[in-house]
Every structure is written in C-alpha cells, then in structure tokens.
Amino acid sequence: MTSAFSISLSELELDALTELVNLGVSGAALSLREMVHEEVVLSVPKVAVVTREQAIATLGEQESKRLVAVQQDFAGDISGRALLIFPETKSMELVRAVVGGNLSLEDIAELEQEALAETGNVLLNGCLGTIANNLQRSLRISLPEVIYGDGAEFFAAIPSRESGYSVLFIHINFAVRNRDIRGYIAMLLDIPSQLALKDLIGAFIERTTGQVYVPSSNVG
C-alpha cells in the first residue's frame, strides 16, 4: 500500500534529522526574535517519520478538529509541502504573542491571516532553509498560505505526485511573551524525496562525524 509506505530511519539517522530540525528551528527563532523584538524560544521535543494516516490520526487524537496551518511548497532535490499546524483556537494566541501590545480582538482578527502567514513563513523557512543548507542542496520554497481544515485535508495527496507520501512529523513548542503554544511542523515527502532525504542524512552524518556512513537499508 503506497500510502502506508515510509522510509525507515535508524536511530542514528533520526538523531541526525532531529539535530538538523533543531538547527533549523533555532535559526527560525532568531528570525522571529528579529521580527517581534522579544525573546522567542522554540524547542523540538519529538521528531518522527510516520505515514500520512498516522499523521492524520495523531492530529485527530491530540487536537481539536479545527486546525489552522501555514503551508509552503518546496521543490528541488527533495520536494513536498511543509506545514506549521496549530489548533485553530490557538491561532489568535499565536498572533497576539507575536504582535504583542493591547490590540483589540477585531485588530487581531484582521491581522491574523497576515501575521500567521509571516510567522509560519519565518519558522518554515528556518527549518527548510537550514535543512537545505546543511544538506548542501538547493530548493525553491514558495510563499506561505494560510489554510483551515483538519489533518485529512492538510495531508491530502498533492495531485501532481502520484506516489506515496510520508510525513516528517515535528512536535514544536513555541514560547514568546510568557505564552506557550504547542504546535507541529509537518513535511509531506514523496518517495523520491524520502530516499533523497535518507541519502542526504547519511551524507550529513559522514560530514559531521568524518566517517563513512552506510545506511542499514533504504526502505523499511
């Protein structure tokens, strides 16, 4: 079943990936700090590669149905879609955290789309860019778009890519102005991109450790 297909990462590979994500997220935190002129703390408690169904199930179990996401597509050696996902109920909070000040609810509501887009944009660019830089691969990353829906809608197959997708599922905590908001970064990757990612991770490990890295298997 193609939809259940996903790359299998070894513990070392997963550690390397987590490290990459952490690098990306801390870059994003710096960018956000520039933006909001406040201390911004981003942390990544968990990274996992799951099937699309698992990702949908995880979101369905842990979050309310209504979700909001900032979505950016990327293309290059690896292609796919990156999403920053929050429960819809937290989006105002996120915007208020980023914007600060005593803005009225109406003002916040008005700013919400743009602020969400820009915040998500900074975070996703940070992650994707850091990964791309460290993997020494170039990507083209689109402008952000804010979408509402549930996990199933977010992870619907990208029509132009027929093959199965996996989801690199990153739990993320976002703390600014005494507000702590929990969310997810999800990267939908098609099979070639997953294989490329695995190779790239291997290369990253070799560069980082100075040793030849032989992955146990390509696909699990």
Partner 1 sequence: MSANADLAEDAILDAVNGGLIVLDQDARILRWNAWMAFASGHPVASVLGKPLTGVFPDLDLRRLTTAVRAALASGASTVISRTLNPAPLPLRTRSGRTLLHDITVSPVGERSGAACLIFVTDVTMATRREKYLRDQQNARYDAIVENAPDVILSIDSGGLIQMANSAAVSQFGYAMGDLIGKSSSLLFDTAGDWSSMLQAVINDAISFRSCELIAVRKDGSLSYVEASASRWNIGSQGFATVILRDVNERRAVDAALRCSEALARNAAIALADLNQTLEQRVDERTAQLMKAEEALRQSQKMEAIGQLTGGIAHDFNNLLQGITGALHVIQKRISGGRIGDIDRFAAGALESANRAASLTHRLLAFSRQQPIDPRPVNVNQLIASIEELLRRTIGETLQMTVMSADDLWLVRCDANQLENAILNLAINARDAMPDGGTLLFETANAVLDTGQARSREVKQGEYVRLVVTDTGTGMPPEIQARIFEPFFTTKPIGKGTGLGLSMIYGFVRQSEGSVRVDSKTGKGTSIEICLPRYRGDLEVHAEEVAGRERRAGSDEVVLVVEDEPMVRVLVVEVLKDLGYYALEAETGTAAIRILRSSQRIDLLVTDLGLPDIGGRLVAEAGIATRQNLNVLFMTGYAEKAAGSAFLDGGMEMITKPFSMDELAARIREMIERN
Q: Is 105 a residue that touches partner 1 (CB under 8 A)?
A: yes
State how far the Cα of 73 lies from the Cα of 116, in Å rounded to an integer. Answer: 16
Tell me which of 15, 19, 93, 199 binds partner 1, using CB under 8 A. 93
State how far the Cα of 205 lies from the Cα of 80, in Å rounded to an integer. Answer: 23
Q: Is 140 a residue that touches partner 1 (CB under 8 A)?
A: yes
Kindly calculate the radius of gyration of the chain based on its CA atoms and give it in whole angstroms: 17
Q: Is 183 a residue that touches partner 1 (CB under 8 A)?
A: no
Task: Find the shortest distance in angstroms from Cβ 26 to partner 1.
Answer: 14
Q: Is 114 a residue that touches partner 1 (CB under 8 A)?
A: yes
Q: Considering only 32-40, 161-169, 196-204, 207-215, which stretch makes contact with partner 1 by CB under 8 A?
A: 32-40
Q: Is 76 a residue that touches partner 1 (CB under 8 A)?
A: yes
Task: Find the shortest distance in angstroms from Cβ 11 to partner 1.
Answer: 28
State how far the Cα of 46 lies from the Cα of 38, in Å rounded to an integer. Answer: 25
Q: Is 206 a residue that touches partner 1 (CB under 8 A)?
A: no
Tell me which of 13, 40, 144, 202 binds partner 1, using CB under 8 A. 144
Region for 111 from its dihedrals, namely left if φ exceeds 0, alpha if ψ lies in -120 to 50, beta otherwise: alpha
Is residue 182 exposed (0-12), middle (13-18) or buried (19+ Cβ within 10 Å)?
A: middle
Of 6 and 72, which has the nearer Cβ to partner 1?
72
State how far the Cα of 91 lies from the Cα of 147, in Å rounded to an integer. Answer: 12
